[in-house]
Amino acid sequence: MVGDAPGYVGFARFEALKPRDDVERMKWEIARRIAHEGSFRHFLSALAQNRLRQVRFSISWSPRSSAANGLLGRRGRAVDIDDILTATERPYEKMLSSDGYLQVSYQREAPESGYMDFLARQLASKRSLLLSRITPGNPPRVANPRIQVSLIRTDGIPVLTNTSGDVADPLVIQRSGYWSYERAAELLPLDYASIKRQAPCACRGVRALRSAANFSEIYTYSLTMPPCRRITQSCNSGTP
């Protein structure tokens, strides 16, 4: 139990699969990158390294410490990182604590359409608690369909995190919004390293992907990812 709310903790088990060819390997690399970018783990890692702005995260206090206002996209005052993050004896570990709701926005990727449909139904439902913040002059709306908005809080309980985005006690951190929508399908191994730190994909894999039926979608994703963009540019120019 987390306060009055039930909770559970488990560990996912991953098994390495062998791709059929360079095309499939490239697809998997990009899919993993997409799953990582904007995730809760990505946020914690960037927060501990003081790199939120560089990776396009922004945080603010949700108005009146209300989850409803946060999901409606109403932003409150700016957050002083020193108010929520405390250094420890180890430079790679930090203590995170928040009494109110922190609104976290990820600006590099739009929410999935399924989540937007779900949120719209929530906003329109008379049974929804979100409706308590809606008036005739302030109709329900999704604030910005181009960014992912999530809310977190710890009820003032410090929780240990680190530069890898790991959490010592995940039940302490309450999550809502987009991060409550992303579930097991978005999980990655604890030792996952983004393709920024891995060897570049072979150019022949990029060329093969261009001829794949669904490469247009994969390539569109890659345009928002600097490492993949550099790879495709180097292949276009003929450099290794």
Helices 215-223 and 226-237 sit at what angle, rounded to 10 degrees? 110
Residue 110 backbone dihedrals phi, psi, to 5 degrees: -80, 155
Residue 141 has pLDDT above 60, yes or no: no
In contact, 123 and 193? CB cutoff 8 Å:
no
One-letter amino acid of 218: I
Domain-wise residue ranges, the chain: 20-37+194-240, 40-190
pTM of the model: 0.72
Q: What is the pLDDT of residue 55?
A: 94
Per residue in 32-56, pLDDT tens?
Answer: 888 899 999 999 999 999 999 999 9
User: What pLDDT shows up at residue 40?
Assistant: 94
Pair of tokens at residue 193: 């390293």
Determine the pLDDT at residue 208: 46
pLDDT digits (tens, 9 = 90+) for 107-131: 998 888 888 887 777 766 644 444 4
pLDDT beyond 80 at 212: no
